[in-house]
Amino acid sequence: MLLDKRGCSTIGQLIWKGIEMIREIKVIYENDPSVRGLEGLLNSGLHALILHKCISHPLYRIKLRSLARLISQITRFITGIEIHPGAIIGRGLFVDHGMGIVIGETAEIGDDCIFFQGVSLGGTGKHRGKRHPTIGNNVLIGANATLLGPVSVGNNVKIGADTVIINHNVPDNCTVVGAPGRIVRQNGEKVRIDLAGIGDGSEKRES
Ligand SMILES: CC(C)(COP(=O)(O)OP(=O)(O)OC[C@H]1O[C@@H](n2cnc3c(N)ncnc32)[C@H](O)[C@@H]1OP(=O)(O)O)[C@@H](O)C(=O)NCCC(=O)NCCS
């Protein structure tokens, strides 16, 4: 039986991942009002997550990287969703439509997030090491939003459709929209804060 670095059985992990997928199925029914009966099982995001969590990511962890990459390319062909085998994805991710989503090798995604089609969690160049975004828990990322670099997005964040965030962190409990992204809502209040100013004391506020 194959053992990973921590000595866990790969087959045991696979069974555990299978059980975890029940949560992924549940969130489809919770978040998509158009889904009835068994339709939820046809969600392409679910298929991509099953193949990633149960096959390509475990293969990547035991250093069968070419095989892992082959599975992720097959997944991309079937679903239109490209998840690098190295990406770490939490529980309860709901992917709506899915087509065109790209998730890079060192991306990390927390629990209970929602991604729409065309979301990119990418790098900015050819750097090695951590170069993709880290997303907190309960984060919604709208259609075609682009997040580049090793940025960190806090918990309870909404990122609007078509938003662009490059090399800037996003704090907890806010909504970010636009290109370049700016905070338009924080802790329930309307604000206007440029992400470029976050953390250096130069935040620009209006209203
Ligand atoms: C950002 C979003 C999640 C709403 O979050 P919210 O916290 O409820 O924000 P609000 O609706 O109060 O909007 C706050 C401000 O941002 C603006 N805004 C909202 N979404 C925006 C977007 N994607 N791009 C630019 N501005 C946007 C609103 O017009 C509003 O501006 P105002 O203060 O001048 O009136 C939502 O608008 C969104 O983009 N969801 C993505 C949905 C999606 O991708 N669907 C695809 C289905 S196929």
Whether 177 is in the pocket of ligand 1, judged by its Cβ within 6 Å, is: yes
Strand arrangement, sheet containing 82-83: 82-83, 102-103, 120-122, 146-148, 164-166
**Cα distances (angstroms) measured from residue 183 to each of 34, 139, 144, 180:** 31, 14, 18, 10
Helix (H) or strand (E) holding 69: helix 65-79
Nearest alpha carbon to residue 138 among 148, 153, 151:
153
**How many angstroms does the Cα of residue 158 sit away from the middle of ligand 1?**
8
E strands, 4-130, in order: 82-83, 88-89, 94-95, 102-103, 108-109, 114-115, 120-122
What is the torsion angle, in degrees rounded to the nearest 10, for the CA atoms of residue 114, residue 118, residue 123 and residue 125?
-170
Residue nearest to atom 18 of ligand 1 (CA): 177
- Say whether pLDDT at 4 is over 70: no
Look at residue 200 in the predicted model and tell me its pLDDT.
46
pLDDT in tens, 82-95: 999 999 999 999 99
Name the percent of the chain in helix, strand, coil, to the closest 5.
30, 25, 45
**Could you identify the atom of ligand 1 that is nearest to the CA of residue 175?**
7
Helix (H) or strand (E) holding 20: helix 10-31
Residue nearest to atom 43 of ligand 1 (CA): 142
**How many angstroms does the Cα of residue 177 sit away from the middle of ligand 1?**
7
Work out the average pLDDT over 2-10. 53
C-alpha to C-alpha distance for 207 and 111, rounded to whole angstroms: 33
Work out the average pLDDT over 61-81. 97
Whether 178 is in the pocket of ligand 1, judged by its Cβ within 6 Å, is: yes
